[in-house]
Amino acid sequence: MTYYPQHVVSCDPSSDKQAVAHWWTGGLHILEFTRGETFNYTPQVFVCEAMRVYPGPKKEDPNDLIAVSEGAGGMITRCRMNNPKVQIVRYTAPEWKGQIKKPIHHQRLWDVLNSDERRVVSGAINYTIPQIEAYLKNACHKLAVTGEVKEYSWAAHNLFDAIGLGLFFLKRTTKGGCVRR
């Protein structure tokens, strides 16, 4: 039998609002956007992505990572204020996600979720389950045909990353979002 902490929060940090997934005894129960100053939960474990500047040419300004790190730091501070014994876990993207493209990764995560968890996602992003499945399928198809991720900018991608971090921490997936066997 697998042991899960009673309450785990996984967070995809940003410079503005944080994408947050709440896991109780290993299952996804709440998915939301929040800000550190309004976060009033007391998780046993807080999981977030650790920012890292990678070598080589940059598509985006590396200075943006400062604001994202501030967002993560605000959430960590609030967690520690609410529960001084909270365990903080940080993963860099290569540790939990690898180099996999978002549509494929998110499709894998969707495939891991049970029907109750899919309903949580549906309610959080205001898409029906069939709409989510069609969106992911279409994005994966576009990627397969063009070799590029295009027009995959929806607010849900941050929520899917929060889900991915949680599933990885709970050992329900391996790096890249594959089902752990």
Nearest to 28 by CA among 100, 146, 123, 138: 123
The reply to whether CATH 3.40.50 applies to domain 7-169 is no
Cα–Cα distances (Å) from 63 to 37, 41, 66, 68, 129, in that order, read: 23, 30, 6, 9, 37
- Digit-coded pLDDT (tens) for 112-153: 999 999 999 999 999 999 999 999 999 999 999 998 887 777
- Digit-coded pLDDT (tens) for 86-104: 999 999 999 999 989 999 9
The domain segmentation of the chain, as residue ranges, is 7-169
Choice among 52-56, 75-79, 141-145 with the minimum mean pLDDT: 52-56
